Structures are given as C-alpha cells and as structure tokens.
Amino acid sequence: MKAFATLYSELDATNSTLAKVAAVKRYLAQAPPADAAWAVHFLSGGRLKRLVGGAQLRQWLPDVAGYPSWLVEESYAAVGDLAETVSLLSAGNADDAPEASLADWVEERLLPLHEADPDTRRERITGWWRALPPAQVFLLTKLLTGALRVGVSQTLLARAVAELAGVPKAVIQHRLMGHWRPSAEAWDALLDPAGEDEDRSRPYPFFLASPLEREPAGLGDPSEWLAEWKWDGIRAQVVVRGDVFIWTRGEELVTGRYPEVAAAAAKLGERCVLDGELLAWRDGVLPFGQLQRRIGRKRVGKKLLADVPVVFMAYDLLEAGGEDVRGKPLHERRAVLDALVADRDPSLRVSPPVNADSWPQLAARREESRARGVEGLMLKARGSVYGAGRERGAWWKWKVAPYTVDAVMIYAQAGHGRRASLFTDYTFAVWQGGELVPLAKAYSGLDDGEIRELDRWIRRNTLERFGPVRSVRAEQVFELAFEGINVSSRHKSGIAVRFPRIQRWRRDLAPADADRLEDVRRLLEAAGG
C-alpha cells in the first residue's frame, strides 16, 4: 500500500494532466496485477462498501491521539478533511512499518472487517492508525470512508492504461464499464489486445455534450446540425443482449426500478444498445421531483408505477444487431434507431427533432423550453461519431437562462480539502412574512478574492455556532441561479431547487430587498409545479 499512497500524494500535488498520466503509468507498470486492478478500481471512482462511518472514526480518534474530544473536533473543523485529521493526530512516525500490498490490504484486512464485531473492528483500525506512517494512515482512512477522490477522470485513467497496454483508449474505457471487478485476472484481461468481452451487460462509455457559450450561428449551416430537446431526466443506456440491462451514467444498474422500460426494450428483438434519458411521463414530461420518487427504490409497487410512469427517451443507437455502430455518422445511427423503435411500446420513444430553417427560428423554438418542461436544446453534428467522455465540437447543450432569485445568506460552513480553512459552503433564505426561510445551499460561483472577503466577514459577524456551522447576521444578499424548481415536503420552504449556484454578490441590495417565498412560488407555478 505504500506505493499506492505515494501515487495518491503525487496525483494530489499536481493539476497537470500529463503529470498525472505519467504517474499512473509508472505505478501500474511496476505494480503486481492484483494491486494494479485495485488501483484502477479506486482511481476510477470505485469504492468499498462503507466499512465504518466518519462520525464513529472521530469518536475513536481522541483515545488514539491522546487529546480531548473537543480539541479533536476543533482540529477537524480547522483541517476540514477527516483522513488528514486522523493522519496528523494518530499516525506512527516510522516509514518502516510492515509493508503489505494494496491487494492484501483490501482483500485480507479491509474486506474481512464486514464480518468483524464492533470491538474487533475498532481494535484493528486504531491499531493500524498507530502503526502506519502518515501517508498510509491518510489513504487507509480514505478507503474506509469511501472518500478517495484525487482529480483523476475516467478518461485520464483510461488514457494511462491504454498507453501502457498499447490498446485504443476507447477499448479500455468500454472494458472498464459495468460489472468490471478488480482482480489479477481482470487486470490481465484489461490489457489483452486480443481480449473479447464476455460481459453481456456491459454498457459503452457515455458521450457528453459541452455548454454552448456563444451564438449558434458560429456553428455554421443549421442544416448540418440535429436539434432536439434537452430532457431533464436521468441519462441512461438500455442494453439488450438476450436480457435487458439499464445502466445510469453513474454506472449503476437500475433495471429493476424501471420494469416498464425493461419490458418495452425486450420487445426490440435484437442485440442493441440505446442511449437516452429516463423521464417521468404522463402526456408529457413530469417535473424531475416526480422521477425522484422512483430513483431510490430497488423495486417499485403497482401504486408507484401508476403514480409515476417512466419512459425511456432514446436519442442515439450505439449497437445494432450485435455490431458496435458508434463510428457511423449520427444521421445513420438515428435512421436505424427510428426504424428499430418504431412505436413498439409507449414506454420506449425516440427523441423528436426540433426543426427550424435558421438559427433565429431555432432560438424561437428554444423559448418554448420552460413550457415543455425541458432545459433547452441539444445541438449535434449530423456527421458526428459517438465519442467517449466530453469531447468538444460535436455535441452542444444550448440551455435556456436559469431561474434566479435574490436570497440572504444565513449560515456558513467551512469547505474541505484545500478550502478547509475558509467558509465556502453557504445556506440562503428568502422572506416569509418577517421570517427568513431556508431555500437552498450553494458551494460555487464566487471567485477566490470574493471567497476570502466573505470569509473575513463571516468570522466578524457570527451569531452562533452549531458544530462546524455558523449562523451569521442576515445582511448579505446574493443572486442564486438554478436549473429547476419542484415542490418538496422535505424542505421548510416547501420548495426544492436543482443545481443552485451563486450568480453574483448583490452588494447593491439590502436584506429587505431579497425575494419573498411567494416570488419563488410564482416561479414554481410558471414551471408547471
């Protein structure tokens, strides 16, 4: 594990893509196959089933560190990262601790913790903290909590593996999708130039669009572009290879949650893979909040199926008749998709094109988005192949302007990692009568200078502390932007917003000038909520 801890430190210390690729290649080239497999698993976002919660680890830390609980909590609040706090307060000092491989650590020490009783689990984990040097304690704690994030995208990782193996990056990306599980055998198969895919369920890497930040006229002749609605649902692939498998973009297999879609796909009658969007639908798309009622369910009952029917809106075809067709032009893939689906089942549809003769006409159609319950338009080059990841130039998302409200900051919390010493997480509220009602949390939108300035203000204007959270004077107003708005019984305001972020700091507004809850409700009504 020492070598993997070193790799993690190298990756964390640089923002250079080339440096990260080189570091990953060096590690993988010298690592035993099982270690390399587990490294790829973790670096690609895989994690172990949660072994122990962060709160429990914090309860154990004072005894190991020899400090009172209040000092440990203050240290955690200052550092902002649990793994770093543990490594600073409890780690051993010797770098000559007994070494075990990454695979041995995972398979012989960490995974057996699932079967251990609570006392044994505590004894082993705290013993490792005392014995290991700081870098390994840090990594170990990250693995225990499932918080191993180090700025390595799946595209970057696939590039490193592909260069090492001499296999096309697209092949590596595909092999890592779905049910890939780390082992020495899996690693060897991943690198095999002549390897064949034996997993019938495996989806393809998703192709992602980029935001269109200029006028579409710069894209050239509109006839060379396919326009369609940007649906507000769950991106997914429907894989039909004997059985039906539904995969989300997060590589979660969700077939059982959408039985009506699986049943419709089973009628297609050939091996194929469709790319598209899962949508709550009744005579048109329903608000995303309705779809959320289905998201967390492993299985759905008859009532929920009736209350929240779901369709799959297909907009691309990745495999047809068992053949990978991603390299064919989009217009050819769409023609085959149209013929394949052909109104076989109402739970399976093809995303209709949005036709217009000019960019101004298309811009006018785009203004219909709110009324239709969509986020804007997608623009796709008719001759484009289906890529992997975010490749600029072929697919663009042309969203409508976001919803905005002016809200008052009422709470602040320190960030994590490099921003652990600054207050960067904020809670905003709007007026209801003479009371401020929380509406949303936001973590992004301010530049570094504004963050530092606001941090100083928060420290001078704190009213109360609730652990890591501070209540502040209701004096600062910010314009918040968000993509969607829905009714929610879980929020005091009765409203939930999607993807909130700070648009600008409204220094020109007094707190009394902020929006009221009835203003937000009017946005909800306009959105059809």
pLDDT band at 504 (very low <50, low <70, confident <90, very high): very high
Residue from 186, 224, 218 nearest 202 by CA: 186
Per-residue pLDDT, averaged over 460-488, amounts to: 89
Ranking 23-27, 64-68, 71-75, 193-197 by mean pLDDT, the lowest is 193-197
Distances in Å between the alpha carbon of 359 and those of 66, 356, 363, 374? 68, 7, 6, 19
More confident residue, 161 or 149: 161
pLDDT band at 411 (very low <50, low <70, confident <90, very high): very high
pLDDT band at 400 (very low <50, low <70, confident <90, very high): confident
CB neighbours (10 Å) of residue 522?
Answer: 12
pLDDT, position 92: 64
Residues 106/112/116/121 CA torsion (nearest 10 deg): -10
Per-residue pLDDT for 94 more than 70? Answer: no
Distance of CA 314 to the CA centre of its chain: 21
Per-residue pLDDT for 95 more than 60? Answer: no
| Burial of 389 from C-beta contacts in 10 A (0-12 / 13-18 / 19+) | middle
Number of helices (H) and strands (E), helices first, in the chain?
20, 21
Q: Share the mean pLDDT of the chain.
A: 89
DSSP state letter for 114: G
Distance CA 429, CA 434 (A): 12
Phi, psi of 107 (to 5 degrees): -80, -30
Can you name the CATH fold of 2-145?
A: DNA ligase i, domain 1 (1.10.3260)
Domain ranges of the chain: 2-145, 207-399, 403-526
Q: Are 250 and 210 contacting, i.e. CB atoms less than 8 angstroms apart?
A: no
Distance CA 163, CA 21 (A): 9
pLDDT, position 15: 84
Residue listed under structure tokens 């009394």 = 512
What residue type is 317 in one-letter code? L
Residue from 480, 484, 495 nearest 439 by CA: 495
Q: Are 404 and 481 contacting, i.e. CB atoms less than 8 angstroms apart?
A: yes
What is the per-residue pLDDT across 202-253, written as a single tens digit (0 to 9) for each?
Answer: 999 999 999 898 889 999 999 999 999 999 899 999 999 989 999 999 888 9
Per-residue pLDDT for 393 more than 80? Answer: yes
What is the per-residue pLDDT across 297-356, written as a single tens digit (0 to 9) for each?
Answer: 777 889 999 999 999 999 999 999 999 999 999 999 999 999 999 888 999 999 999 999
CATH number of 403-526, picked from 3.30.360.10, 2.40.50.140, 2.60.120.260, 3.40.50.300: 2.40.50.140
Distances in Å between the alpha carbon of 80 and those of 218, 314, 414? 44, 42, 7
Per-residue pLDDT for 32 more than 70? Answer: yes
Distance CA 86, CA 109 (A): 19
What is the per-residue pLDDT across 155-209, written as a single tens digit (0 to 9) for each?
Answer: 889 999 999 989 888 888 888 888 888 999 999 989 988 776 677 899 999 999 9
Ranking 136-150, 265-279, 346-360, 387-401 by mean pLDDT, the lowest is 136-150
Per-residue pLDDT for 475 more than 60? Answer: yes
pLDDT band at 511 (very low <50, low <70, confident <90, very high): very high
pLDDT, position 235: 96
Per-residue pLDDT, averaged over 373-387, amounts to: 94
Instruction: Specify whether domain 207-399 bears CATH 3.40.640.10.
Output: no
Find the distance separating the first CA and the last CA of the chain, reported in whole Å. 52
Distance CA 246, CA 266 (A): 11
Element (H, E) at 431: strand 423-432
